[in-house]
Structure 1
Amino acid sequence: MSLTDTVKIELKYGQTGEFQCEIPSERLICYHQSPAPLADVTQKMQQVLNSPLELPPLNLAIVPGDKITILVDPQVPAAGEIINAVWAYLSGCGISAGDLTILQCATDPESDIPKLQDSVTGELQQQAGWISHDPESQEDLGYLGTSAGGERIYLSRHLLEADFVLPIEKVGYDPLIGYAGGGSSLYPGFSSQEAIIKSRGQSHRELTPSDSRPLRQLIDEVGWMLGVQYSVQVIPAGGYQAADIVFGSLEAAFRKAKERLDQLWRVEPEYKAEMILVAVEGGPAGHHWNQLGGVLETARNLVTQDGRVVLLTQIDAEFGEGMQLLASCHEPLDAIKPLRDRQPLDLVAATQLALAGDWALVCLLSQANSEEVEELFIIPLEDEAEIKRLLQTDETVSVIASAQHTYGQLKQD
């Protein structure tokens, strides 16, 4: 092998950004690329709907006249195509569009989530019920029961009063619960504001996604209490696309989806790199600071202490309360306790940024104000040329595409 051999790097970031460079192969420790998206989401849905995992065919579980609630995770890629395929199956079973409710979480008004209603068939647009859950409305909530730990569980009445509930969820890594999906969109998202606030917390760095967590156990219990049987679990590709879809019992579909997620998105190099270049793409839930929570956890796990983390984004959103708190501190770690005390919406992202800023030198390409970025203990980058200059060193490098979907740790023996 020639010493001049290079690897061509191609990364998408933000909504429209594309970065290309070449890195000498002898310096490249890891280059993790996004998996290929499904060529035909509708065809895949037809396949899985006809052969659910560990349950009889769906048409045996529903009858005409049933009130059906489809619960949609706002982070699901290709959600419109998936719902259309589900509707085609349900209508073939004699279900009326008027008996269908599409239930969504109230979304951040600053996010760029496309309107789901505009992406489905005209029949669903006009005849199905479209509900955005309001966790602060007591009228929208009903009592499900009391958990084994003595916690009273309240959920949207549209879930409690349905004859059949079908969650459509993105499966991904989550700093708080390990793996998102498998009912995690049910609770606390469709519960009360009190439950949502109570669920907030800082991530568990000492745990891997597979390790048990109290909140994950409660989520599983809520799914059981509600009697959810079938579920659609979606593994993301880059951007707005899906890499795979699993359908079947909530437990079995989630188990298989986690396996696929690990195959496609788990990053396990043998060594830490002196520099890690990570691209963060926009997606169904937008492009914002909160995306950086899991990204920074992965980066911190895979870069040497006092190494360099280079983030490729197009983020231009305003800082949340947690970021503002971090910006007011003299040192990154000074923010950890006040973040824990205040529990802001962006708690995880702000905490991970503080930890990463203490561990390594963080550089960010974004569309945010450079002076404000510097207050977060981040070096702002003006353009892609600056990133290419940073790469012109002898440092070892790891590169991760669509890093918002990854979990990274060193390979275990």
Structure 2
Amino acid sequence: MPVLPYGIDSTLSLDLPESTRLEHCAAPRGKSDDVLRQSVQQVLAEPLEYPPLAQVALPGDRVVLALAREVPQASLIVAQTIEALLAGGTEAGNIAVVCESSEVDEDALLAELAPEVRQAVSVQAHDPELREGLSYLAADAEARPIYINRTLYDAEVVIPIGVLRLTDALAYAGIHSSVFPAFSDAESLERFRAPKAAREGEQGRLRKQADEVGWLLGTQFTIQVVPAAAGGVLHVLAGLPEAVLREGSRRCEQAWSFGVPERAALVVATVVGDAAQQTWENVGRALASAARVLEDDGSVIVCTQLDRPIGPAMARLMDADDLHAAERRIVRERSSDALAARELVLALNRAKVYLLSRLDDDLVERLGMLPVDAAGAARLAGRATSCIVLSSAQYAVAHPESEAALGSGSGGSSHR
């Protein structure tokens, strides 16, 4: 009887009959705090294809840590990075942490540092809507202006701290996306969030643009995290972005890419992690992952503790009688929930979608889904003839091996 963590602190017990075909794509366990601390110290002292971090900044250089949203164990990683910079002679007053998320708790983020260092280090939240907080960097290939956070632009050294994902993860724009569009203007963010950004060709084009901005900004050192279960960290890599990408892609593939024999009638997809992980964006990622291994006319249970309001794109699904018409409207949306809304439409067109969340049941139903609690999810699983569990589905990608053997590619592509 699998016991599955989901949400921030909940578990779900699945009591499956012996006749049920079960495949569990289990999330890897992360490092303990002590082991992670030692690991970060080591990778910063011996980065990939680059000198130690302590030698990166010159005396008087302004150094910015560009912290992407959803980085697990961010306070520990930020603290060890700042300690390495201080050991190399950088003054604490010349260090700033610019956060992509506006929800970061400054006290918690710097909690591991000495009081005098906490007082000197600047923490800022990036605001893509604030024109005065942006600087013009260059024009892209289509002559659109590229704007970047002014603090990053003015710094002599920018050190991105981001999360690595699988190359074919929903709307992942590569290693430099933790700088661009993360720390750009609202218009750039909208382009990367548009539903068409999930298309294979468009995703490659956006990744190329993010790489170009990384080069224009002179990003030569990056810190990237391979996530683990329950908000943990499996690996931390640092060094030259190209080298980190090569090694990080390999480790992500080992940790988060799964093969299953064939599709299943039921997919249980959990979103695990703190409140920052309980988002509509991660619900969209979970639905996209589930779609790759779900039988047509099957069922998906997405297990979360989501309690966030819906955005403009999701609102277009409220009481929708015609999903195809709703999808056409959503495709034109560029709001932050547009990708998740389109994934929901795609899922509803071929499956029953159950949502375990903290949302009001009436809202869930009006979005076309079926609200369910933990007991109800367990009962549904008990009736399934076949079941695939995707733990921490916001990171996981599974593929039916039977279809790969036939040369049909990933499961999701033939149904999307």
TM over 0.5: yes
Which position in structure 1 is the counterpart of 2:25?
Answer: 32
2:187, 2:275 → 1: CA distance? 26
Residue among 64, 68, 74 paired with 1:73: 68
Whether contact under 8 Å (1:175, 1:294) holds in the other structure is no
Tell me the SS of whatever aligns to 2:175: coil
- Per the normalisation by structure 2, the TM-score is 0.90
**1:5 corresponds to which residue?**
none
Whole-angstrom CA distance in 2 between matches of 1:362 and 1:177: 19
2:149 aligned with 1:159: no
In the TM superposition, what is the alpha-carbon distance from 1:276 to its structure 2 partner?
0.9
Deviation of 1:175 (Å): 7.2
1:225 aligned onto 2:216:
yes
CA contact (8 A) 1:362 1:379 kept: yes
1:186 aligns with 2:176: no
* 1:391 partner SS: helix
Once the two structures are TM-superposed, the CA of residue 212 in structure 1 deviates from its matched residue by 5.8
Within the alignment, does 1:392 sit opposite 2:405 as a pair?
no
Gap change, CA 1:17 and 1:273, over 3 Å in 2: same
Secondary structure of 1:184's match?
A: helix
Instruction: Give the aligned partner of residue 98 of structure 1.
Output: 93
Q: CA deviation at 1:67?
A: 0.8
AA in 2 matched with 1:331: D
Secondary structure of the 1:54 match is coil
Q: Contact 1:142/1:160 (CA < 8 Å) preserved in 2?
A: yes
The AA in structure 2 aligned to 1:126 is: Q
Answer yes or no: is the 8 Å Cα contact 2:171–2:193 preserved in 1.
no
Match of 1:216 among 204, 207, 211: 207
CA distance in 2, matches of 1:66, 1:357: 53
Partner letter of residue 312 of structure 1?
C
Contact 1:174 1:294 in 2 (8 A): no
How far did residue 176 of structure 1 move?
A: 8.0
Does structure 1 residue 300 correspond to structure 2 residue 291? yes
Letter in 2 for 1:103: V
Give the Å deviation of 1:178: 5.1
Distance change in 2, residues 1:229/1:275 (3 Å) = same
SS in 2 for 1:361: strand
Deviations 1:225-249 (A, max 9, x none): 1110010010111222111111110
Q: Distance in 2 between matches of 1:161 and 1:200?
A: 27
Q: Tell me which moved more, 242-251 or 279-288.
A: 279-288
Aligned residue in 1 for 2:414: none
Q: Distance in 2 between matches of 1:83 and 1:327?
A: 41
Does the CA-based 8 Å contact 1:176-1:202 persist in structure 2?
Answer: no
Q: Distance in 2 between matches of 1:284 and 1:222?
A: 30
* Change beyond 3 A, Cα 1:175–1:328: farther
368, 380, 400: which one pairs with 1:410?
A: 400
Question: What is the CA-CA distance between 1:379 and the residue it aligns to?
Answer: 1.3
Aligned counterparts of 1:44 and 1:117: Cα–Cα separation in 2: 19
Residues 1:45 and 2:40 are matched in the alignment: yes
Superposition map of 1:1-400 within 5 A: 8-24=1-17, 27-39=20-32, 40-107=35-102, 114-115=105-106, 116-121=108-113, 122-173=115-166, 179-202=172-195, 207=200, 213-283=204-274, 285-381=276-372, 383-393=373-383, 395-400=385-390
Q: SS state of the match for residue 292, structure 2?
A: helix
Secondary structure of 2:276's counterpart equals: coil
Report the secondary structure of 1:256's partner residue.
Answer: helix
Quickly say closer, same or farther: Cα 1:58–1:10, change in 2 above 3 A. same
What residue number does 1:3 align with? none
Shift in Å at residue 409 of structure 1?
2.5
- Aligned AA (1:242): V
User: One-letter code of the match for 1:392?
Assistant: G
- State whether residues 323 and 346 of structure 1, in contact with CA within 8 Å, keep that contact through their aligned partners in structure 2: yes
Larger displacement relative to structure 2 (219-228 or 128-137):
128-137
Alpha-carbon contact 2:271-2:277 (below 8 Å) kept? no
Deviation at 1:62, TM superposition (A): 1.9
* Residue equivalent to 1:4: none
* Greater displacement, 141-150 / 13-22: 141-150
Moved over 6 A (4+): 174-177
Letter of the aligned partner of 1:403 in structure 2? A
Residue deviations 1:168-208 (CA, integer Å, cap 9, x gap)? 10112487875455110211121122222233311566649
CA pair 372-282 structure 1, distance change in 2 beyond 3 A:
same
Matched-pair identity in %:
30
Q: How far, CA to CA, are the matches of 2:384 and 2:320 in structure 1? A: 33
- 1:146 Cα deviation from its structure 2 partner: 2.2
- Give the distance between the partners of 2:78 and 2:243, measured in 1 at CA: 21
Long gaps (5+) in structure 2: 406-416
Q: Distance in 1 between matches of 2:376 and 2:304?
A: 14
Determine if contact 1:233/1:246 at 8 Å carries over to the other structure.
yes
